A = this chain, B = another copy of it.
């Protein structure tokens, strides 16, 4: 499926994604990204610096949020710019089920230059983990 610029309307909701964060995901992301800070892997350390538990890397959360857009468009190179506010971290206790974050997206603006602006949401339980999250996306004409 290819989303075309002419098919998009303001207010349109993108398919939401419920994505699970597990401790194993955090370890994999730590090694892939090079961010080995123990707050993302070591529960004892995380608690010693005042966190409720191990937290996900903000960039992992940000990277998953944009998948709402890239999955919908079907082209990861369509994203022109992307910005977020890191409101709250995704806390990842050591459970088999992991922490589920609901990522959402909505078309906020259609621009004359053939791009659109999408507003993204990221809710963990009843906590907003990203704020003011938005991406500009170029769609097929």
Binding site for B on A (CB under 8 A): 19, 25, 28-29, 31-35, 37, 39-40, 55, 57-60, 62-64, 66-67, 70, 76-77, 79-86, 89, 132
Contacts and interface: CB of A to CB of B under 8 A. Distances in A.
A76 B37 CA distance: 8
Nearest to A89: B77
Number of copies: 2
Contacts of A84: 81-83
A86 B132 CA distance: 18
A23 to B, nearest CB: 13
Contacts of A63: 33, 35, 57, 59, 62-63
Nearest to A17: B34
A82 B58 CA distance: 10
Given A32-B32, A37-B76, A70-B35, A85 B89 contact: no
B86 A79 contact: yes
Contacts of A79: 58, 86
Nearest to A26: B32
Contacts of A77: 39, 55, 58, 86, 89
B80 A60 contact: no
A60 to B, nearest CB: 7
B33 A29 contact: yes
A49 to B, nearest CB: 9
A131 B6 CA distance: 28
